[in-house]
Amino acid sequence: MNEIPVCCSPEAVTTLTESDAVELSGVLKALADPARLRILNLMTAAGEVCACDLEAPLGLSQPTVSHHLKVLRQAGIVEREKRGRWAYFSARDETMAAIATALSPVTQRVPSG
């Protein structure tokens, strides 16, 4: 039988500090709800959405939509802009970038020579 060679794994490289991980875990906990994921999906597709336009596509009541938006806002995932009676929500670019960066694979530079 051929043996599979065992090689040493390179030292783990992380750019995520413990405090960043704690903060990001709060964001991910807020996203760990199907309705909130759908809200964020609609929001990122449209750029911004009025809270009043989320009830029908989600099949949720206004108080439930408001609750989910509040959770997303408290987690720093979305921001709100009041325009008269209406509130418009959009995803925070900084938070979306932080999520993508934290979940992207870390590439290592291999020394040449």
Q: Output the tens digit of pLDDT for each of the chain's 113 residues.
A: 566 665 655 555 567 788 988 989 999 999 999 999 999 999 999 999 999 999 999 999 999 999 999 999 999 999 999 999 999 999 999 999 988 888 887 655 455 55
CA 42 from chain center: how many Å?
13
For the chain, where are the alpha helices, taking DSSP H only?
Answer: 18-31, 34-46, 55-58, 62-74, 93-103
Domain that holds residue 69: 24-103
* 42 domain-assigned: yes
* 31 domain-assigned: yes
* 110 domain-assigned: no
Confidence (pTM): 0.77
Instruction: Please answer whether residues 39 and 73 qualify as being in contact, where contact means their C-beta atoms are separated by less than 8 angstroms.
Output: no
Instruction: Please answer whether residues 51 and 5 qualify as being in contact, where contact means their C-beta atoms are separated by less than 8 angstroms.
Output: no
Overall domain count for the chain: 1
In this structure, what CATH number is given to the domain that contains residue 37?
A: 1.10.10.10
* 109 domain-assigned: no
* Token code pair at residue 86: 């209406």
